[in-house]
Structure 1
Amino acid sequence: MKKRVGYVVALAAIAVAIWWYFGGNLAGNGNNKASGEEKPIAMSRGYGDTSQLQPHRLKLQQFLDRQMLGKDGVYTNYKETDEAAEVATGHETLSESAGLLLRYYALTGQKEAFDRVWMQTKRTFVTEAGFSYRYSPLHNKQYPLNAAVDDLRIIRSLHEAETVFGGDYGREADQYSARLYLHNVQNGKLFDFYDWTYKTTNDFITLCYADFQSLRLLDAPSKEKRKLEETLLEIVQGGYLSDAFPFYETRYGYATEKYGDHDGEINTVESLLTILHLAEIGEERPASVSYLKRLVEAGTLFGRYDREGQPVTDIQSTAAYAIAAMIGSTIGDQALYQASVRRMEQYRIGDESSPLGGSFGNEAVKEVYSFDNLTALLAYAY
């Protein structure tokens, strides 16, 4: 057995944070209801636990459970397709969705629901090399790639579950973190994916894949983890664009030692995830937070920008405002959290008679995407 000193320290820190927040009353006794009515248990401030927002959270949870959760996981889209595109569509399922839903059930203390989704996740996505990032039920196809950020999210959810529920979730987390570390960490560098057909990784890191808080929970030698975090932090901080446009580059090529993306544009969701991951370890830039607050308050948080900060689309998304809310809760900025949730809820389908009622999507064309809805659900738990 490997030594688990790093894990124990990290887990203890989580437990202390939760104990402190709830005045020493940890709710992880294993007897939690699966109704979604419990007080959210999170490392964040719990800003979403209000009489106004809780009904919306429960309605969204109910929609996902009844309309989007199949036997293989959460559908990528409510609307069915032939599941033949280069990216996941229709009723294909993603390990990304599994991790988001697992985190939600852990943070809201719903043990039965967590266990049900975790068993489903193992059945659908687990391979000898980690978690497949995508599964097509129609073609019974498990794709031979993982995504490090999604594996990290699942591993984190297991540690959160052990803190809340007890049990052996942490031991299982260590098993999967060992696989991630073996395949996606090479020569002290984290790579986006590992292809177990060709036994190789890609050659770059997408900056939002650097989930520092989750990396700290990996079952790996402490010295190696510190070095990995230092390397990643230097790369991520080096991807800061400017004080005038304080978002982040998309990718960093290890061989070229250069940042960039194929189209040169900045994806807002990816930059916000980078800011969130930095905020979780106290490394967010004040300029990024101030800039984000201005965009949220003005309702001008667009989906893509050029490198000078000019929007290249007028499309906005539920997910972007949901992640902004998580950033607000993480740094203790309740005003940012509340403003972001208000903007997020502009995309909520309020018609209770609709089969899509309570979800976030386009009712006219019956499109409801998993990432938008699961990030919104998680934002409610923050």
Structure 2
Amino acid sequence: MAKKLKWSLILVGLAGLIVVMWGFFSPRPEDTTQLADYTPIKSAPLAPINPLSRETLNCQAFINNQLTSPDGGIYTNYQNTAQTGDLSTGHEVLSESMGLLLEYARLTGDQQLFHETTDYIQDHLIFDDILLWRIVENSDPITNVSATIDDLRIYQTLALAKAQWPLDDSATKILEMLENQLPIRGFQSDYLVSYYSATSPTQDKTVEVAYINLSALQTLAAAKPEIATAVNTNQQILLGSFISETLPLHHKSYDPQKRSYTDTDGKINILDSLMVIQNLAQAGIYSPQSIDWLEEKIASGTLYSYYDPHTGAALDTQESSAAYGIAAQIGAMLGNDFLTGNALTQLKKHQNADSQSPFYGGFGYNNNAYSYDNLQALLGLVYNK
């Protein structure tokens, strides 16, 4: 009896050890979704067909006339509201906006706008050897950090433009700076950080999934092979962020310590998920489930801002011009005319058509207009035929 009890205790101990060891060696959440779960894209358009449509030109004119400073920076808001802590407001200029404008210039083959934009970035946004994510023109810096999501967009656009035309001095300097800075400061233990400064080490606790511009990271790794492991790590986080068949979108953040994904306030922000889907499409892959879901929501005009990750139910009925603009871009990257066409149909419903309004040609809400909405809409309208 004592011998049986002894063996029972040994077996229980071994079972407990296995459970503990499984906790250490079980697959991470980002390892459970593999590249095979996504569909490769056979071909993706590199640039749209010119000439640009009337809607595109009207939107560009609104941005030029109402959101652009005398120096060439894109204001965050139409209204010059007061600054609010860490939030970008009023007539601040963001690296996000300048990167989107740079992408538009490349897509439309506007070499003059492209070089004017890189000149602006070089003259106004570069400080202490990094590209600041927000500034007030002709003032002391209001931040000392750079945002990797914007850096990667600008880096990728510059790398693509290099194959289209000779880069001028400012474009070359920015490309070289980002190529040297991102591998050193853009990662922490192989995980992509959200922000970094020139002096302080980054202490990010989570990885923002929408920041993982996989195509840009792959381009960067081709120039800097030492980040290949980091690129693979972040690719797995990107692939593993898929929520479920019920809601085929993507989680917002990944916690490396907890090995789990999280969402702000337990809600899915459609813009975050669309940026992830766009990042995947740029890298040549997509989830058919996500695209089917997008096609259905957009065709019915029910693409809303927030969703419940458990039930898949919409949590509001608010639509976003930026969301329809990004969806149109995704459709173009996939060669999916149905998705692009329906996204543009919905987008143009929100475009101001009153020629007497200061918002004519643009996308405004509550007597204000925002750079992100208008620039993402502009990038979508590029594909309007």
> Same fold, TM exceeding 0.5?
yes
Q: Is this contact kept in 1: 2:76–2:90, CA < 8 A?
A: yes
How far apart are residue 217 of structure 1 and its match?
Answer: 2.2
Question: Partner of 1:69: helix, strand, or coil?
Answer: coil
How far apart are residue 306 of structure 1 and its match?
Answer: 1.4
- 1:127-167 alpha-carbon deviations (Å, 9 max, x no partner): 33521111134864331121111001111221232222223
Letter of the 1:166 partner, please give it: P
- Contiguous gaps of at least 5 residues in structure 1: 1-19, 22-41
Equivalent position of 2:350 in the other structure = 347
Alignment of 1:74-113 (within 5 A): 74-113=74-113
Residue among 263, 267, 271 paired with 1:265: 267
- Runs of 4+ in structure 1 deviating by more than 6 angstroms, as ranges, are none
1:150 aligns with 2:132: no
Q: TM-score, length-normalised on structure 2?
A: 0.82
Instruction: Give the fraction of aligned pairs with identical amino acids, expressed as a percent.
Output: 30
Alignment of 1:270-349 (within 5 A): 270-308=272-310, 309-349=312-352
Which whole-Å CA distance do the structure 2 matches of 1:264 and 1:99 have between them? 30
Question: Partner of 1:376: helix, strand, or coil?
Answer: helix
Letter of the 1:240 partner, please give it: F
Alignment of 1:1-382 (within 5 A): 43-44=46-47, 46=48, 49=50, 54-70=53-69, 71=71, 73-137=73-137, 140-168=140-168, 169=171, 172-196=174-198, 198-218=200-220, 223-308=225-310, 309-362=312-365, 365-382=366-383
Letter of the 2:325 partner, please give it: A
Which whole-Å CA distance do the structure 2 matches of 1:172 and 1:133 have between them? 14
Question: Partner of 1:278: helix, strand, or coil?
Answer: helix
How far apart are residue 338 of structure 1 and its match?
Answer: 0.6
- 1:3-27 alpha-carbon deviations (Å, 9 max, x no partner): xxxxxxxxxxxxxxxxx99xxxxxx
Letter of the 1:258 partner, please give it: S
Q: Is this contact kept in 2: 1:178–1:219, CA < 8 A?
A: no
Which whole-Å CA distance do the structure 2 matches of 1:222 and 1:130 have between them? 18
Number of residue equivalences:
337
Q: TM-score, length-normalised on structure 1?
A: 0.82
Letter of the 1:314 partner, please give it: T
Which whole-Å CA distance do the structure 2 matches of 1:220 and 1:186 have between them? 20
Structure 1 residues 282 and 220 mapped into 2: Cα distance closer, same or farther (>3 Å)?
Answer: closer
Which whole-Å CA distance do the structure 2 matches of 1:245 and 1:89 have between them? 32
Q: Is this contact kept in 2: 1:174–1:218, CA < 8 A?
A: no
Equivalent position of 2:3 in the other structure = none
Q: Is this contact kept in 2: 1:75–1:93, CA < 8 A?
A: yes
Letter of the 1:353 partner, please give it: Q
Question: Partner of 1:352: helix, strand, or coil?
Answer: coil
Letter of the 2:295 partner, please give it: K
Q: Which moved more, 1:276-285 or 1:318-327?
A: 276-285
Which whole-Å CA distance do the structure 1 matches of 2:103 and 2:327 have between them? 17
Structure 1 residues 174 and 138 mapped into 2: Cα distance closer, same or farther (>3 Å)?
Answer: closer
Question: Partner of 1:246: helix, strand, or coil?
Answer: coil
Q: Is this contact kept in 2: 1:193–1:201, CA < 8 A?
A: no
How far apart are residue 78 of structure 1 and its match?
Answer: 0.5
- 1:93-141 alpha-carbon deviations (Å, 9 max, x no partner): 1100010000101111111111112111122211335211111348643
Which whole-Å CA distance do the structure 1 matches of 2:174 and 2:93 have between them? 22
RMSD, matched Cα? 2.2
- Contiguous gaps of at least 5 residues in structure 2: 1-42
Which whole-Å CA distance do the structure 1 matches of 2:230 and 2:290 have between them? 24
